[in-house]
Structure 1
Amino acid sequence: MGNATIESVLETALYADDLDAAEAFYGGILGLQKISRGGNRHVFYRCGPGVLLIFNGQETIKPHEPGALPVPPHGTKGQGHVCFRIDNDEIEAMAERLKAAGVDIEADFHWPNGGRSIYFRDPAGNSLECAEPRIWGL
């Protein structure tokens, strides 16, 4: 048996009941490139080398339709968290963009190692963070 090494996170998911609001937020305010939208079930975004999946949890708990991709039912309840990687010189610009859109910055934190994070919420209440990679020594 060979060794298997996980290289990175390919995709991550958050859940939102209102995909229209999620689409306006992630595509409009954050400026992520939309890959696709599947009705009221999901909207997917390119995020650097990975993908951000926004699912309507009420739809993803349903079994897949005959002939659809055989993805098992899944979902969660409550708010999640994602941290977006951003360069230090871009954090202030993102904070200003969020403020201009009426999004509250819940915390603006300078970590002991010198890295900075800003925390805010999407329309579904998910906790989002933009941070320099050096907060994790990257």
Structure 2
Amino acid sequence: MPERPAVHLAVPVDDLPAARAFYGGVLGLAEGRSSDHWVDWSLHGHQLVTHVIPGTVRPAGESEVDSHEVPIPHFGLLLSTPEFHALADRLRAAGTAFLIEPYLRFPGAPGEQWTMFFRDPAGNALEFKAFRDESQVFAR
């Protein structure tokens, strides 16, 4: 178990082999327990579970942040800056289409961060980000 509290997140997918290829292959997450209709993943020590639910994930909407339309809902993770750029390179190499290309948000301001958005094969929106100074995650 991580030294800090861990998060549990369950998301719908419509194709378990595609989810395995994306979460295990593209994102490089370690697979845990599974059945014929769900898979546990280690999202940097947090539990992400992909559950097969027939149908398409429908986004609720978008919210403007820093002149970009951010998909709602979404989930993701805070990474170090080197981890962020390594993941961005990995996603590009896999041909992942970005909803919002990796870029530096709020440069020079409290909360300066690298961010990127993309969807998994089921349509779930993901955001990964890296703060220049992790102590600024909740800065105002």
TM value normalised by structure 2: 0.71
C-alpha displacement of 1:77:
5.4
What is the match of residue 65 of structure 1? Answer: none
1:78 equivalent among 58, 76, 83 = 58
Give the 5 Å matches for 1:37-76.
Answer: 37-39=34-36, 41-58=37-54
Secondary structure in 1 matching 2:75 = strand
Give the distance between the partners of 2:50 and 2:6, measured in 1 at CA.
16
1:116 equivalent among 114, 119, 128 = 114
Identity of aligned residues (%): 31
What is the match of residue 19 of structure 1? Answer: 16
Secondary structure in 2 matching 1:132 = strand
Letter of the structure 2 residue corresponding to residue 17 of structure 1: D
Give the distance between the partners of 2:10 and 2:78, measured in 1 at CA.
16
Give the distance between the partners of 2:116 and 2:57, measured in 1 at CA.
24
Deviations 1:13-64 (A, max 9, x none): 111110110011000110000002210x211101223100101124xxxxxx
Q: Answer yes or no: is 1:127 the counterpart of 2:120.
A: no
What is the match of residue 90 of structure 2? Answer: 97
Q: Answer yes or no: is 1:34 the counterpart of 2:35.
A: no
RMSD (CA atoms)? 2.3
**Highest CA radius of gyration, 1 or 2?**
1
Asked if the contact 1:95/1:105 (under 8 Å) is kept, the reply is no
Asked if the contact 2:57/2:122 (under 8 Å) is kept, the reply is no
Which segments of 5 or more consecutive residues in structure 1 lack a partner in the other structure?
Answer: 1-6, 59-75
How many residues in Structure 1 have an aligned counterpart in Structure 2?
114
TM value normalised by structure 1: 0.72
Higher strand share: 2
Give the distance between the partners of 2:46 and 2:85, measured in 1 at CA.
23
What is the match of residue 136 of structure 1? Answer: 137
Letter of the structure 1 residue corresponding to residue 43 of structure 2: C
